[in-house]
């Protein structure tokens, strides 16, 4: 991985931050986004730079098409290319099916599923042109294990899995490998 360039969504905390740091330890330069970018020593950006790698970041709502387009273009400009794309941004809210609000449903699907689609579409254009790349989607074990009050989240993460499978079929002829990881509960 040494010398590769990666774009990661949801990179300021949790799984996304750990992905950024793991890639940086392997010699990867990082462009990441999140809805809120932290500053200071504990930020992803500073920790990646502390590992001797380039880090550029931007506050982005992945469900906002224009923000995604701008971010992907800026990442390509700053890094020179994108070799690795990690679609990780996601949110969860808990509402039972008898009380789920349209606002909750739409918000979760917009970030978790539409965000994955928008970012993939923009990064895929770049990777198809280069005829190479790797995409990794963060799904969830929730797709296999129904849980109380998680209908919208489960639908979104199952959708991410199905979307990634379709992207894998469509992008394979261009030398682009697509996979998912499905973590369970984390701290």
Spatial CB neighbours of 38, under 8 Å, sequence gap ≥ 6: 12, 44
Residue 148 bears catalytic tag: no
Sign of the four-CA dihedral 92, 156, 32, 136: positive
Bridge-partner residues for 177, per DSSP?
Answer: 134
Write down the catalytic residue from 32, 148, 153, 174. 153
Please, which residues have CB within 8 angstroms of residue 166's CB and are 6 or more apart in sequence? none
How far from the centroid of its chain's Cα atoms is residue 97's Cα?
A: 27
186: tokens are 């984390």
| Active site (catalytic) residues | 153
């Amino acid at each position: 991985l040494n010398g590769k360039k990666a774009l990661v969504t949801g990179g300021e905390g949790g799984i996304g931050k750990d992905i950024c740091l793991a890639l940086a330890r392997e010699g990867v330069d990082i462009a990441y986004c999140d809805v809120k970018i932290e500053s200071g020593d504990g930020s992803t950006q500073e920790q990646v730079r502390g590992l001797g790698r380039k880090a550029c970041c931007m506050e982005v709502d992945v469900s906002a098409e224009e923000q995604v387009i701008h971010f992907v273009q800026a990442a390509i400009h700053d890094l020179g290319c994108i070799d690795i794309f990690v679609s990780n941004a996601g949110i969860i809210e808990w509402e039972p099916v008898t009380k789920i609000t349209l606002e909750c449903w739409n918000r979760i699907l917009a970030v978790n599923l539409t965000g994955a689609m928008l970012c993939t579409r923009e990064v895929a254009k770049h990777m198809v042109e280069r005829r190479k790349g790797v995409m990794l989607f963060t799904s969830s074990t929730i797709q296999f294990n129904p849980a109380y009050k998680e209908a919208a989240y489960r639908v979104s993460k199952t959708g991410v899995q199905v979307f990634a499978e379709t992207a894998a079929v469509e992008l394979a002829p261009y030398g682009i490998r697509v996979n998912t990881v499905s973590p369970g509960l984390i701290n």
